[in-house]
Amino acid sequence: MANDMGRVAGKVALVSGAASGLGKATAERLAQEGAAVVIADIRAEPAQAVADGIRRAGGRAAACKLDVTQDEDWQAAVADAERAFGKLDIVVNNAGIADGGWIHKISLEDWRRVMAVNLDGVFLGVKHGAEAMKRCGGGSIVNISSVAGLVGIAEGSSAYCASKGGVTLLTRAAALELALLKTNIRVNSVHPGFMQTPMLEGIIGLSRDPDAARAAMVKGEPIGRLGEARDIANAVLYLASDEAAFVTGTQLVVDGGFYAK
C-alpha cells in the first residue's frame, strides 16, 4: 500500500471515529494514497485493528484512543500524531452518533450527548487541528456533516439535524477565519446521504419493518442505491489533497441526488 506518488503522499492525517464505517474507509483510502494515518476512536481495540490492517497492507498508521468530546483527549491525540509522524496536515472530523428522539420527547441529557459528540467534537477537532497545522505551514480539515445538516429530516432527527447544521456553519465560519489569518488551512464539510455503515444498519434495525425501512431509504436516493463508504472516502480524499487547494468553506454533498430534489 505504501505509495510515495499518491495523492496525499508525505502528509499526516488524523481521522476521528476511524474504527468503523465511513471513518475506517476514509483512513484506509488516505493511507492507500500515501498519507500516514492516525486512527482515532473512543473504541481503542477496533481502532488498533484498523491501524494494524493498514500496516499489514504496507501503509503507515497508528491508533489512538480519542473521545472527541474531551479537550484533553484532543491535545493528547494531536501530540501523539506529531510524535509518531512529525506533523499533522489533515484532520477528518468524522466521529458522530445518530441518537435522538422525537422533539417533544427527547430528554435534555440525550440532546446534549448528540451535541457533545457531533458538534463539540468537531469544534475541538478544528481548534486543535488548526493549532497543529499552523506549526507545519497549513493543512486541510474535513468535517463530516450530513444531508441532515442541510435539510430537516423527521422521525426523531431534530438533535441530529441541529448538530449537523451546526457543523455546516461552523465549517464555513472557521474556513473564513483561518483564511483571513493567512494560515493556509482549508476547512470544508462533506454531506453524506444514506450510506451503508454500522450506524445506518443500527437505524434500520430499530424500525418495526427493517426491509421496508431499507427500501424507503433506497427510494429516497435518486441514484437508486445506498451509498458505499468508499463514496465518502473518495470525496474526503479530494478535499484533503492539494487538488482542492482553492476549495475552502464549501459543502460537498455526496448523496446519490437526495438533496437535489
Active centre residues (catalytic): 160
By beta-carbon proximity to ligand NAD, the closer residue of 32 and 93 is 93
Candidate list 13, 14, 22, 161; residue touching ligand NAD; CB under 6 A: 22
Candidate list 198, 205, 222, 257; residue touching ligand NAD; CB under 6 A: 198
DSSP of 44-89: HHHHHHHHHHHHHTT-EEEEEE--TT-HHHHHHHHHHHHHHHS---
Candidate list 12, 13, 15, 21; residue touching ligand NAD; CB under 6 A: 21
Q: How far is CA 141 from the centre of its chain?
A: 10
Q: Which of 229, 261, 236, 46 is nearest to 153 (CA)?
A: 261
Give the three-state DSSP class for 153.
Answer: coil
d(CA 71, CA 48): 22
131 to 170: interface string for ligand NAD, x by CB under 6 A: -------------x-x------------------------
By beta-carbon proximity to ligand NAD, the closer residue of 3 and 250 is 250
Q: Which of 115, 244, 230, 136 is nearest to 189 (CA)?
A: 244
d(CA 66, CA 52): 17
Output the smallest distance, CB 10 to ligand NAD, in A. Answer: 26
Output the smallest distance, CB 37 to ligand NAD, in A. Answer: 15
Residues near 53 by beta carbon (within 8 Å), at least 6 away in sequence: 28
Q: Which of 118, 103, 131 is nearest to 17 (CA)?
A: 118
Find out whether 259 and 253 touch, Cβ atoms under 8 Å.
yes
Indicate whether 74 belongs to the interface with ligand NAD (CB under 6 A): no
Residues between 201 and 260 with contacts to ligand NAD, criterion CB under 6 A: none
Residues between 40 and 69 with contacts to ligand NAD, criterion CB under 6 A: 41-43, 66-69
Only segment of 2-10, 106-114, 172-180, 188-196 that touches ligand NAD (CB under 6 A): 188-196
Output the smallest distance, CB 225 to ligand NAD, in A. Answer: 13
Indicate whether 120 belongs to the interface with ligand NAD (CB under 6 A): no
DSSP 195: B
Output the smallest distance, CB 5 to ligand NAD, in A. Answer: 29
Output the smallest distance, CB 77 to ligand NAD, in A. Answer: 10
DSSP of 241-254: SGGGTT--S-EEEE
The residues that touch ligand NAD, with contacts defined as CB under 6 A, are 16-17, 19-23, 41-43, 66-69, 94-98, 117, 121, 144, 146, 192, 194-195, 197-200
